[in-house]
A = this chain, B = another copy of it.
Amino acid sequence: MNYNSLLKSYNLKVTQPRIKILQLIDQRGHIAIDDIYNEISQIYEKLSLATVYKNILTMRNIGLIIEIPIVGKKPKYELTKNSHLHFICKECGAIEDKEIIDNLKDIFKTIALKDQFIISSLQNNIYGVCLKCQ
């Protein structure tokens, strides 16, 4: 993925912190703010935690990334992509993406229609224990 042009397409200036943040979120799939800071700091020492926070906020507001709130833990972030569901392991915290069946979306739409509720986004998290941690 070309993070450079991704940033430009959202009218954001291309800076080192931004490229590295995007790259890391993309590589990891799902990552918390602390981990972004810690990992990038190793190769780019002058990075400030405040910069990570500011950029995460900016990217979230414009829809470049999505926040995944997690019960009892700090939120993680992922690049915006088609709706999907998350398997969240209570043990190791790992998150795995699963495709969402069209069927599923239709079920939600039908319920929403009855209530005249206008859906803007879905958040389907399934908590449990992953294979590794069993």
The interface of chain A, by Cβ under 8 A from chain B, is 60, 67, 69-72, 75, 85, 87, 89-90, 96, 98, 101, 103-104, 107-108, 111-112, 115-131, 134
Collect the chain B residues with CB atoms within 8 Å of residue A116's CB: 131, 134
Collect the chain B residues with CB atoms within 8 Å of residue A60's CB: 72
**Binding site secondary structure of chain A:** strand
| Contacts A/B (CB < 8 Å), 19 sampled | A69-B75, A71-B123, A96-B117, A103-B107, A104-B104, A104-B107, A112-B126, A112-B128, A117-B126, A117-B131, A119-B127, A119-B128, A120-B128, A121-B128, A122-B124, A122-B127, A123-B123, A123-B126, A123-B127
